[in-house]
DNA sequence: CATCAGTTTCAGAATGTTTTGAAATCTGCT
DNA sequence: AGCAGATTTCAAAACATTCTGAAACTGATG
């Protein structure tokens, strides 16, 4: 049997799902994954694999993969219903928490490896043919490293599990445009 | 004739280019585009299409497309050499300015259209069958809209042409972890 | 321990993106 | 205008990602 009793979705909900799906690329996830997340988010209900398959018209494999990936990203969790062997899934409801998880994941997956490569490049630039190397090149690599480290640090601060990122952001926005220089 | 006299590149430079290329997905551009940018950035020189083709071993069409796209993004500019009909390209050297351009482009291309869709969804949710609609659904759409608006505003503030984003970021990092709540 | 509902896996198919290369276009010079 | 070097375009090919569906697996139950 297919979906749990009455899983119907208003047309407007589906448009939300589609809009969110198109946004997938921004978050670095596939369209379907984003749609699955949107579906869980907008309904606010616990849905099972069959519900997702049916509503989004995707295959069982795809639904299973996407749900699992969302759980790995930490923005969807598994829940169980008493007396039901099926697994159900719910999306994190707090937008800021969703954002946190995504930012942290992406830094870990993408910025950190890049930084690792850049450290290697810097180390190769430094010791050996130090005299023959254009000092500007070193400076540029350094600048890039500094910038990415700043990004990672900011990400941690903003998106860290303890950080009240929202307030920080708000206060940042509220401040006046110019900030007194510290140098 | 191929590249301008002596365009040679140290092995370490190429590793920088590759590392940066892999990062392309984060910035939402293709690997090659990212590599072209990295090449221009790390050499700090003005290179012509042929230089890029040769160093990156890509086709003329691809080099042309990638360079043009980078110019569109505002992180590479065309320069001319007196007595030379060729066009040369240089990358913006300030990391923060590069970041600014990218953030602004991405907000314009990705967040703004999504927000537009969400406004439509909200408007569809409000007037007609207002009684039949789960109020929580409206709240969730609102929450998402608010969040994205905050993102766009933050992006503008941080990455705006006038904003001293770096100082803001630094001061943010320097602050103590907890910020007094404003409510 | 055989069965069954439910879940995951994975090779191949479908789809989407990027690259090529040659032809068309442009630009500035004589 | 006619030419020559430089650049852009674009259809087809190469490549990469995502999706499907059927088979394999899991683990609770009688």
Residues in contact with strand D, defined as Cβ under 7 Å from any of its atoms:
A 30-33, 57-62, 65-66, 85; B 1, 48-50, 60-61, 64-65, 67-68, 85-87
- CA-to-CA separations, B39 to A50, B10, B36, B67, B70, in angstroms, rounded: 49, 11, 5, 11, 12
Of the CATH numbers 3.40.50.300, 3.40.630.10, 1.10.10.10, 3.30.420.40, which one belongs to the domain with range B11-91? 1.10.10.10
**Least trusted range by pLDDT, from A144-153, B104-113, B163-172:** B163-172
Quick one: which of B121, B149, B62 has its CA closest to A166?
Answer: B149
Mutate to test the interface with A, among B43, B140, B141 (most CBs of A within 10 A): B140
- Are A4 and A48 in contact, with CB atoms under 8 Å apart? yes
Q: What span, in angstroms and rounded, lies between the C-alpha atoms of B153 and A173? A: 8
DSSP secondary structure string for all residues of B53-94: HHHHT--HHHHHHHHHHHHHHTSEEEEE-TT--SEEEEE---
pLDDT tens by residue, A159-179: 665 556 666 666 666 654 444
Q: pLDDT at residue B162 above 70?
A: no
Q: How many CB atoms lie within 10 A of CB B20?
A: 24
pLDDT attached to residue A168: 61
Q: Hey, where are the domains in chain A?
A: 11-91, 95-174
- What residues does A48 pair with on adjacent strands? A88
DSSP one-letter code for A82: T
Residue in chain A lying closest to B156 (CA): A173
A43 pLDDT higher than 90: yes
Mean pLDDT estimate for chain A: 84
Using C1' positions and the CA of A65, the closest nucleotide is C8
Distance measured from the CA of protein residue B85 to the C1' of nucleotide C26, in angstroms: 13
**What nucleotide is nearest B86 when CA is compared to C1'?**
D6
Residue A45 DSSP class: S
Percentage of residues of chain B with pLDDT beyond 70:
77
As a residue count, chain B comes to 183
Q: Is the dihedral of CA A169, A171, A173, A178 positive or negative?
A: negative
Cα of A24 to nearest chain B Cα, Å: 10
* Average pLDDT estimate for A52-64: 97
- How high is the pLDDT of residue B141? 95
Is B48 strand, coil or helix? strand
Max Cα separation, chain A?
74
- Tell me the pLDDT tens digit for each residue of A105-128: 888 888 999 999 999 999 988 776
Q: What CA–CA distance (Å, rounded) separates B28 from A25? A: 8
Question: What is the Cα–Cα distance from B45 to B77, expressed in whole angstroms?
Answer: 12
């Amino acid at each position: 049997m297919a979906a749990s009793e009455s899983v119907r979705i208003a047309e407007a909900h589906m448009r939300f799902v589609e809009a969110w799906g198109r946004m997938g690329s921004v978050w670095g996830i596939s369209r379907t994954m984003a749609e699955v997340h949107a579906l869980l988010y907008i309904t606010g209900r616990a849905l099972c694999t069959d519900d997702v398959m049916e509503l989004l018209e995707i295959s069982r494999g795809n639904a299973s993969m996407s749900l699992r990936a969302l759980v790995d990203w930490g923005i969807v969790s598994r829940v169980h219903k008493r007396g039901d062997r099926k697994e159900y899934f719910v999306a994190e409801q707090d937008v800021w928490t969703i954002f946190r998880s995504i930012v942290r994941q992406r830094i870990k997956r993408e910025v950190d490896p890049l930084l690792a490569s850049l450290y290697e490049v810097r180390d190769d630039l430094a010791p050996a043919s130090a005299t023959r190397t254009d000092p500007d090149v070193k400076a540029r690599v350094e600048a890039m490293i500094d910038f990415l480290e700043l990004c990672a640090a900011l990400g941690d601060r903003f998106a860290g599990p303890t950080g009240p990122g929202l307030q920080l952001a708000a206060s940042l926005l509220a401040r006046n445009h110019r900030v007194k220089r510290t140098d």
